[in-house]
Amino acid sequence: MMLSGFTCPLDGTKREFRFCQYDCPARCMELPVLLSLMGSRDLKEGTYSVTEILKPPRIVNYNRQAAHYANPFDLMFMQLGTAFHSIVEGQRDMCPGHLFERQLFFSVDIDLGERKVTLTGRPDQYDLNTDTLTDYKTAGYYAVKLLLDGKWEDSDYRRQLNLYRHYGFPNCKKMQLVMLIKDYTRKLKREGVPPLVTIAVPPIDGKEIESDTKIRLFDILAGESNWMDCRDCTDAERWKSKSGEYIRCDDYCLVAPECPQFKEENNDTRRTKPDRADR
């Protein structure tokens, strides 16, 4: 299952898409924008996409097994990325030797011993003239600056492009990200930072890619029948900040309200928090 409906930003109730589309007496945003956020895709048992396996296994299986809802305002920046992709692909007829997302789909069987799992991928762009694989992203400047400085540890983008190259495009000679800075300011402009940045993606050894892919798939399959059986998320997967906050859990994860790891930690925090009279 994918997104089943919206959590109303006005009163917090869970609403099916149909209600938001036809029956809501006070829509939170214009209908065309709301409709653009309702998109979903079919999920097939035993088949996982490259972008999917880069997520924590608990999130992957929750998304597949549980009906869930999201505040439409929380989805807006993701939609900005979709619009950016559409603008690029709209120029396909004017770009000889370039293939785009719909033409680049691939699938490959991964042998896990007792069973096989299908891995699929759909990169954004491939230049046949130079054998260059390109993915388009929107991100805040802080994240872009880290990658410009060669700090890939907290980003899945490098692994994503290398998964595409290894399993779908073995003739690829160059990988790159084209990143639109979504919080671009006059200050950045004065500092000479362009709003659109191209970043070369370092290669990863093929054996490492294959080993990591199998580990990720085994982790996902452990919760294939019940997402609660998945391992806990790591600090890196939870986007732990320097101040100790778990940014993904607090602000982005749809699983968090039902996640045993998140709930246990919150209960521990409440138990250890001193009473007002003790402060």
Q: Are 128 and 97 in contact (CB under 8 A)?
A: yes
Question: Is residue 276 over pLDDT 70?
Answer: no
Domain residue limits, the chain = 3-231, 238-279
pLDDT tens-digit readout, 239-258: 998 899 999 999 888 889 88
By C-alpha distance, which of 28, 10, 137 is closest to 84?
Answer: 137
DSSP state of 90: T
How many alpha carbons lie under 13 Å from residue 135 in its C-beta half-sphere? 21
3-231: what CATH class? alpha beta
pLDDT for 272: 41
- 70-84, 100-114, 151-165, 208-222: least confidently modelled range: 70-84
Q: Considering only 3-7, 28-32, 158-162, 165-169, which range has the smallest mean pLDDT?
A: 3-7
Residue 101 has pLDDT above 60, yes or no: yes
The per-residue pLDDT for range 253-274, each reduced to its tens digit, is 888 988 999 999 887 554 443 4
For residue 279, the model assigns a pLDDT of 34
Mean pLDDT for 208-221 is 97
pLDDT, tens digit, 9 for 90 and up, residues 27-63? 999 999 999 888 666 789 999 999 999 999 999 999 9
pLDDT at residue 202 greater than cutoff 80: yes
pLDDT value at position 151? 96
Contact 218, 22 (CB under 8 A): no
- 59 vs 253: CA distance, rounded Å: 8
What whole-number distance in Å separates Cα of residue 171 and Cα of residue 169? Answer: 5
Q: 115: buried, middle or exposed (CB in 10 Å: 19+, 13-18, 0-12)?
A: exposed
Comparing 227 with 3, the larger pLDDT belongs to 227
- For residue 240, the one-letter residue type is K
- How far is CA 268 from each of CA 145, 214, 231, 262, 278, rounded to the nearest angstrom? 36, 34, 19, 10, 18
